[in-house]
Structure 1
Amino acid sequence: MSLEHDIRERAMSLAAAAQAAAQRGDRDEALALWRETIDLEPHEVHYAIASTNDLAGMGEPSLALDVCAQWIAKNPDNAMIRVQRGVIYLNSCSDRDNAIECFAEALFIDPDNHEAHAALAQIYLFGGQPELMRFHAKQALIRADARRALHLRGRFLSDHAAVIEQASAMLATTPGDADIWMMLGKALYMLCRFDEARDAFRRVAESEPSRMDAIGALGDTLILLGREDEGWRMLEGLARDEYVLTFYPDIAPYLAKKWRGEALHGKRVLVAYHAGIGDNLMLARYAKRLADAGASVHFVCRPELHRLFRDLDGAQSVASGWRTDELAQFDYWVLDYLLPAYMGRAGMSGAEHGYVRTPREARSRWDGYMQPYRDKLKVGLCWFSGPHNFSGIDRFVPARALKPLSAIEGVEWFVLQKNQANAHLERQSGIRAHDLSSQWSDFADTAGLVDHLDLVISVDSSPLHLAGALGKRAWAILPAAPEWRWGRQGERTEWYPEMRLYRQARLHEWEPVIARIGNDLRELIGRR
């Protein structure tokens, strides 16, 4: 047996021990073992990547960056560890500039590194710079393998027809590949081929019952298709014991307290948020429904909503976090996303006038600022938000498509999103808007501003749900393939009586939608 073989075996053993230590949360032991591993195999990049992933996952991004720097000193011509360093800067440190520098260094070393191009596409996607996003996505696409190419086409280029064609060809030779079936299902969904999308998602859910992205997509699609009972039964899988235990290992003694629609009179119920801020806002209305059914409600919300929800109708108490041992004090717990499954959908008391109230101090802080615009139509605008949603970039309106709205006189515009896309609004659309987002610390501050507005125009994102929860007039801009909550047709929604829905007829075609909004905006100004 050669010395090289012995070294390789020793490094593999150390790496396994290091990963086990990281899983236990033992930072010092994991770091020591990883350093010993890398000393033995100083040119094996997968050890450097695995070690820095472990350190970043344990909340030690500085140590992870230090390991990257040491490895780069020994391997200055390796592009992959520079990509890894950029990923840590971006995901663990929120340091966009240093991340871009790392990816640029990787491309200088290896111009064909598709991971660096894909990472830059991701940065420019979140930065609201679609031209740069598409450039780097196309560069990654021509260098990536077939599987990676499917992801790039769908996420960054919205080329769903090509995804369907290529995924179908790949599945002809590998029919059991669940990841490809998921990408196919998403592409079919975005092209409004909902029945086919449902079948693709169902295939994944049946072959991999623990795969929550498939269960969520299948349940949501069934509801959109009008098969609500079946859809909600599927979505109950989101609270499946083995899945919940992966997030809350200590919840095992309380799994039997999961609420499934039992009588609530005299019972204490903890409601925990499951999904995004918009979902949390929409589903907060159920606190009053639970209270009307006789429950004492403890509502756990997203941290960004805590101050806004402190006087939530129906909630005896509101918190922004919880510990599993607190469940000993409650009779039941339930995920907010599943409340419609057990209590029905909309048409709830109080929904007509809003069920969330802005704290007085959050509203009054904007009184002086808004005073000069009292004679204008004050409109809040959200056209771009975090693209983690199922629909990704397809639910956002390119800023340039908003240009017709810039010519409408009598409107004072206010930005209702908080991201880097704000800086490009006037250049791309001609709309000059007030951007006060740097002064918002949470959604109570945003709600205080929204209270002063006459209208909110928003894509399917949290500002839209905020306006609906406050009972404000709102116009929703929806993609051709909407989420389950909006249904497939109609201008009104039972979730928010004061909201009007503007639906895209075909994917990528926003001009007719913006034209309708412009006409209705002029009519509204004329009535004033």
Structure 2
Amino acid sequence: MNVEQPQGAPAGTSGIAGARKDAKSTGSLDRASEWHAKGRFDDAAREYEAVLAGQPGHAGALHGYGVLQYQRGRTAEAETVLRRSVSLKPEVMSLSDLGGILVAAGRREEALVQFDAALRIDSRHVVTLVRLGDTLLEMRRYAEALAAYDRALAVSPLVLDALSNRGGALRALARYQEALDTYDRALTVAPRSFESYYNRGLVLRDLQRYTEALQSYDQALAIMPRHPAILLTRGRTLIDLGRPSEALVSLNDAIASQPDFVEALYNSAIALERLGRANEAMQRCERVLALEPRHAGALISRGNALLRMAQCEAALSDYTLALEIESGSREALCNAGTALRYLGRYDEALRSYDGALALDEKFAEAWSNRGGTLYQMCRAQEALESYDRATAIDPNYAEAHVGRAMLFLSEGDFTRGWPDYEWRLSDPKAAHRARILPQPMWRGETPLAGKTILVHAEQGFGDTLQFCRYATLLAERGAHVVLEVHPPLKSLLMTLHESVQVVPAGELLPTFDCHCPLLSLPFAFATDQQSVPNRTPYLHPDRARVQRWENLLGSKQRLRIGLAWSGNREHVNDRSRSIGLATLMPLLEADAQWISLQKDVRDEDARVLGDSGIVCVEDEMRDFADTAALVQSLDLVISVDTAIAHLAGALNRPVWILLPDPAEWRWLRDREDSPWYPGARLFRQQTAGRWQDVIHAVRDAITELKAL
């Protein structure tokens, strides 16, 4: 409650002055005022009671005693005493303090009556005007609150509370620049007001001036270190800036100061999810939900973590629970659409996105995700229109640009596809964001002869195997190439070119002049379908390792066919890309020596594998160089869309790739061959989710192959 604290007297001085003239116990009232001002409430109460014992109708003593009772936590008694004081002598300060007590009791309309009565006596009473503004602000009557603060400041331009809360009213009215100016005025009055710095930061964040907001929060923290609310908002701002690692530090500091700080726990889950630390994000959400079981945001955030872990059904359940709590949550509707999309329930996904857009037609994320769903439904023109709506709303929305890029690339429109694909480096949610390096990024416009360029892998093994071929093109332009890759790829990729130096990620890098993310090289080389660098093989197995496999496999009596049926189980589209081994068993009817190329065998596949007769050599495949040597020893590789397919293609070994509908952009549309791998043959689903027809086609093709 905003009851004025006693400054020498417990309330308005006019009431006490009058009391001194009339009271027989002047000494008692003086002592009451003194003890009250010093915070010795029990002593002050004794002296007030002594005065009132002699003069029960002494308005000034009743006023001071009422304020004291409120400060002692006796709100009901305080109201009774102050009402008696006001009925005897309605003075400005006693009316104002009674209004303040009513505000604290949540009876704001009654408080307004008291403030109006006080202002009828003195329309320029600053304390009452500020209290009136504060009450109207709490009641969300922002324009009236602003008028009250302006009246107070017209009387006394340097009242800090009026300035600070005026900024709050302006912010609520979305008059952000005026709010910012007001907080700047407040800081001229009190240069070390952490509230003004904090509130100024909130306005700057509203204006999306995140870096300046961060500076304001840091200035507030310099005054009030480790303040949980400021650390929370600082963390949120760092998330807005796409700096989740730093955000997590700030949010963890807030949690350390206040372990059950729900909003800090919740936002730390968002930061962890953005960092790809889905399990930890889930744990934070669990802590939030233990404290607030109906926290819709935590349910949505937990759903996001589950979605990142490819647990789509569980994610959908969380989004559904969130919608039961907040039926108007556009985020829950949008994310439920994404879970439905990954589950292949495309029509339901579209309805969910449309529900989010009905709430907010300018929700760029929903338009973008709607585009992704339409793309998977092979409705390319509608998908493009949705992506275009997203970028029209937010021209810098990276995810929509990347979605549009994948649409163009899948249709073979590389000219429009590669530039849009560069937006992946600006996506704050993506693990392959632009790497911050002091050297310039090479985009194909400058000569490289005599220079050293760092090329850094940014995504999975398959992407690196597909696009590492560009390192050779750089070397042919006279560059010394430093290729930073996942450690298991080092030995194999050392066979690229003599001017390519392969460095495992995490090791010290040599000096370089410029750099380029690996998947930006097709853009830098302006690659189109006619200029795809498809000279294969561009990777080469070690002969000694090949001989070792020949010895292990023994003399060849039949076709040797390698089989890879599943990829990364945490890939959000794993459900579409991977095939259960049991589903592939009809292939084994072909008379061949079947060899597993799976390094990671799932439990449900292990049982089938044990009875299948497939040769298992996973313990012998220590890195990709070992696997490459094994692939070299085979007559054919059959693989789903995984790194093994790219490895076989890079080695120019015969590879048949089993693709879902729709397939990833790199395999284009409706083709049985690939411009990237001349030795590849593509077998595509004709109906989304149906593998049986693909498997029958592959089995027939094996029969034809044996007949040759």
With normalisation by structure 2, the TM-score equals 0.57
> Are residue 473 (structure 1) and residue 654 (structure 2) matched?
yes
2:678 pairs with one of 488, 497, 503: 497
Shift of 1:469: 0.5
For residues 393 and 431 of structure 1, the distance between their equivalents in structure 2, rounded to whole angstroms, comes to 23
For residues 529 and 688 of structure 2, the distance between their equivalents in structure 1, rounded to whole angstroms, comes to 28
Look up the equivalent residue of 2:439 and give its one-letter code: Y
Partner of 2:258: 37
Look up the equivalent residue of 2:663 and give its one-letter code: P
Matches within 5 A, 1:299-310: 299-310=483-494
Shift of 1:281: 0.8
Look up the equivalent residue of 1:158 and give its one-letter code: G
Partner of 1:401: 583
Partner of 1:289: 473
For residues 301 and 524 of structure 1, the distance between their equivalents in structure 2, rounded to whole angstroms, comes to 36
Partner of 1:149: 336
Report if aligned partners of 2:364, 2:397 keep a CA contact under 8 Å in 1: no
Residues 29/200 of structure 1: CA separation in 2 closer, same or farther (3 Å cut)? closer
Residues 183/353 of structure 1: CA separation in 2 closer, same or farther (3 Å cut)? closer
2:439 pairs with one of 251, 254, 261: 254
Partner of 2:501: 317
Partner of 2:453: 269
Shift of 1:488: 1.3
Partner of 1:363: 546
Residues 440/506 of structure 1: CA separation in 2 closer, same or farther (3 Å cut)? same
Cα RMSD for the two superposed structures = 4.6
Residues 144/378 of structure 1: CA separation in 2 closer, same or farther (3 Å cut)? farther
Look up the equivalent residue of 2:340 and give its one-letter code: R
Residues 30/170 of structure 1: CA separation in 2 closer, same or farther (3 Å cut)? closer
1:219 pairs with one of 405, 424, 441: 405
For residues 351 and 253 of structure 2, the distance between their equivalents in structure 1, rounded to whole angstroms, comes to 48
Report if aligned partners of 1:271, 1:299 keep a CA contact under 8 Å in 2: yes
Shift of 1:384: 1.8
> Are residue 459 (structure 1) and residue 640 (structure 2) matched?
yes
Look up the equivalent residue of 1:454 and give its one-letter code: D
For residues 418 and 215 of structure 1, the distance between their equivalents in structure 2, rounded to whole angstroms, comes to 35
Shift of 1:501: 1.0
Report if aligned partners of 1:167, 1:181 keep a CA contact under 8 Å in 2: yes
For residues 276 and 368 of structure 1, the distance between their equivalents in structure 2, rounded to whole angstroms, comes to 31
1:183 pairs with one of 361, 366, 369: 369
Report if aligned partners of 2:442, 2:516 keep a CA contact under 8 Å in 1: yes
Deviations 1:183-221 (A, max 9, x none): 211211111112222222233234334433322221121
For residues 27 and 205 of structure 1, the distance between their equivalents in structure 2, rounded to whole angstroms, comes to 29
Matches within 5 A, 1:3-402: 11-13=228-230, 15=232, 34-38=255-259, 42=260, 44-50=261-267, 136=314, 139-140=317-318, 143-145=321-323, 146-155=333-342, 157-238=343-424, 247-249=434-436, 251=437, 253-255=438-440, 257-313=441-497, 315-321=499-505, 329-330=512-513, 332-343=514-525, 344-345=527-528, 351-371=534-554, 374-386=556-568, 391-402=573-584
For residues 692 and 596 of structure 2, the distance between their equivalents in structure 1, rounded to whole angstroms, comes to 21
Aligned-residue identity in percent: 24
Corresponding residue SS for 2:491: coil
> Are residue 487 (structure 1) and residue 649 (structure 2) matched?
no
Shift of 1:316: 3.0
For residues 238 and 60 of structure 1, the distance between their equivalents in structure 2, rounded to whole angstroms, comes to 20
Partner of 2:598: 417
Residues 319/135 of structure 1: CA separation in 2 closer, same or farther (3 Å cut)? closer
Deviations 1:398-423 (A, max 9, x none): 44432321332x22222323334265
Shift of 1:425: 5.5
For residues 80 and 436 of structure 1, the distance between their equivalents in structure 2, rounded to whole angstroms, comes to 50
For residues 292 and 359 of structure 2, the distance between their equivalents in structure 1, rounded to whole angstroms, comes to 34
Report if aligned partners of 1:380, 1:457 keep a CA contact under 8 Å in 2: yes
Relative contact order higher in (CA < 8 Å, ≥ 6 apart): 1
Report if aligned partners of 1:415, 1:422 keep a CA contact under 8 Å in 2: no
With normalisation by structure 1, the TM-score equals 0.74
Report if aligned partners of 1:493, 1:500 keep a CA contact under 8 Å in 2: yes
Structure 2 segments unaligned to the other structure (5+ residues): 3-70, 74-103, 105-194, 196-225, 324-332
Shift of 1:444: 1.7
Question: Which of these two proteins has the greater Rg computed from alpha carbons?
Answer: 2
For residues 237 and 365 of structure 2, the distance between their equivalents in structure 1, rounded to whole angstroms, comes to 27
Report if aligned partners of 2:341, 2:349 keep a CA contact under 8 Å in 1: yes
For residues 149 and 414 of structure 1, the distance between their equivalents in structure 2, rounded to whole angstroms, comes to 40
1:442 pairs with one of 601, 623, 643: 623
Look up the equivalent residue of 1:193 and give its one-letter code: R
Shift of 1:503: 1.6
Shift of 1:364: 4.3
Corresponding residue SS for 2:666: helix
For residues 445 and 572 of structure 2, the distance between their equivalents in structure 1, rounded to whole angstroms, comes to 28
Residues 13/160 of structure 1: CA separation in 2 closer, same or farther (3 Å cut)? same
For residues 165 and 402 of structure 1, the distance between their equivalents in structure 2, rounded to whole angstroms, comes to 34
Report if aligned partners of 2:424, 2:433 keep a CA contact under 8 Å in 1: no
Once the two structures are overlaid, the 10-residue window that deviates more, 289-298 or 178-187, is 289-298
Deviations 1:127-165 (A, max 9, x none): xxxxxx67656755654533342122122x211122123
For residues 197 and 26 of structure 1, the distance between their equivalents in structure 2, rounded to whole angstroms, comes to 34
Shift of 1:470: 0.9
Corresponding residue SS for 1:458: strand
Residues 508/53 of structure 1: CA separation in 2 closer, same or farther (3 Å cut)? closer
Report if aligned partners of 2:405, 2:418 keep a CA contact under 8 Å in 1: yes
Partner of 2:218: none
Structure 1 segments unaligned to the other structure (5+ residues): 85-112, 126-132
Shift of 1:346: 6.6
Report if aligned partners of 2:398, 2:427 keep a CA contact under 8 Å in 1: no
2:697 pairs with one of 516, 520, 523: 516
Residues 400/28 of structure 1: CA separation in 2 closer, same or farther (3 Å cut)? closer
Partner of 1:108: none
Deviations 1:237-291 (A, max 9, x none): 4456999997544x2x423x52324343444332222332212111122222222
Residues 139/271 of structure 1: CA separation in 2 closer, same or farther (3 Å cut)? closer
Deviations 1:333-382 (A, max 9, x none): 2222122234335778994541101234543443432116x213222222
For residues 627 and 615 of structure 2, the distance between their equivalents in structure 1, rounded to whole angstroms, comes to 13
Residues 58/260 of structure 1: CA separation in 2 closer, same or farther (3 Å cut)? closer
